[in-house]
Amino acid sequence: MKKRLIKKHNKSRLENILTKVSEKFTITKKTFGNGYFIFSFGQNTVCHFTLKQTPLWKYGIWLTKKGYQIFGEHEWLIDKFKPSRTYLSFENDINLFLDKVKAISENSKLYFVDSLTDDNALVAYEKAEWGDGDFSYKGYQCIREFNEETELYNQFRRDESITQEDYVERKWNEFIEMERQTKENHEFDRLFAFNFFSELPNMFSCIKVVGVRDENKNGLKCSPRYNIKVLVDQNISPEELDKQYEELGNMVHNKNYSKERKSYEHQFSLIGCYDHIKDLRDCNYKYYKD
């Protein structure tokens, strides 16, 4: 009974905050949860939602003992979706949050680039102090140059010819091109990996089946992404198996770190040899000898 009451109370707290949001914007999706990643905060202490007026931006609310935290980030820039790692993050201040969302709705590209560049798109040129006398400069007109005395890029100057519009467009285009190249590299490496998996059973006489388990399932992201399990001929001698396993391990390692590869997205490793097909039942892909 107590858990049900807490769950109902927390959802009511979240709905009260969402009601204030819905007075200004149209909520298109909302989901309730109990925590972040493997950490539980309690029943209905978390809400994620999206808004019609800001496509591709995602928002969240975390209930706390002192109130709540409300935060948000563009979906393309999400690393860890929590208040300390997002562009927008406010504690117990719905009005500041709504003001910022309104600004984003009016110029989403500008605020996307501001998040992308760690707050450089909204200011032209200003000093940024870090404490203990350390400082730097930031802004869309800030140019960082090499300092021959320190041999560091810690020399700054202002280029007033750079407009905010030019800066935003350049950073936006750089990001889009980088994403295009990244996707192309990932696709190349995916094909590289799966071609190797399919060829592997015919490279060694002892191999009957190669199983591949994709660890990037259920929202997880692991490196290496793929674990290789090999079903071997039960009639092979221990000495020959040791020899071929060593060769197999070296081949997998060398292929995984081949200079042909263009990213780290589709890495793989050998985790062992097995003598029964049931040992490969957790594999997502299986490749048999021709």
- The whole-number average pLDDT for the span 95-112 is 98
Mean pLDDT of 230-248: 90
* Model confidence, pTM: 0.83
How many CA atoms lie less than 13 Å away from 86 in the CB half-sphere?
21
Q: Which tokens in the block code for residue 79? A: 């690393």
CA proximity to 24, closest of 101, 119, 135, 121: 101
Tell me the pLDDT band of 121, cut-offs 50, 70 and 90: very high
Alpha-carbon distances, residue 279 vs 129, 210, 211, 235, 270 (angstroms): 58, 11, 9, 17, 14
pLDDT score of 175: 98
Distance separating alpha carbons of residues 46 and 81, to the nearest angstrom: 12
Q: Which two tokens stand for residue 270?
A: 């050998």
Residues 57 and 73: beta-carbon distance below 8 Å: yes
Kindly tell me if the per-residue pLDDT of 136 is higher than 80: yes
Say if residue 2's pLDDT is above 80. no
| Percent with pLDDT over 70 in the chain | 97
Calpha distance 116→183 (Å, rounded): 18
Other beta carbons within 10 Å of 233: 15
Write down the mean pLDDT value for the chain: 92
Would you state the pLDDT for residue 62?
95
Q: Return the pLDDT at 59.
A: 98
Mean pLDDT of 141-148: 92
Residue with the larger pLDDT of the pair 42 and 185: 185
CA 139 – CA 116 distance, rounded (Å): 13
Residue spans per domain, the chain: 2-106, 198-288
Q: 89 — phi, psi (to 5°)?
A: -160, 115
**Cβ proximity of 280 and 274 under 8 Å:** yes
Q: What's the pLDDT score for residue 69?
A: 96
pLDDT at 51 over 90: yes
Helices 94-106 and 2-22 pack at an angle, to 10 degrees, of 50
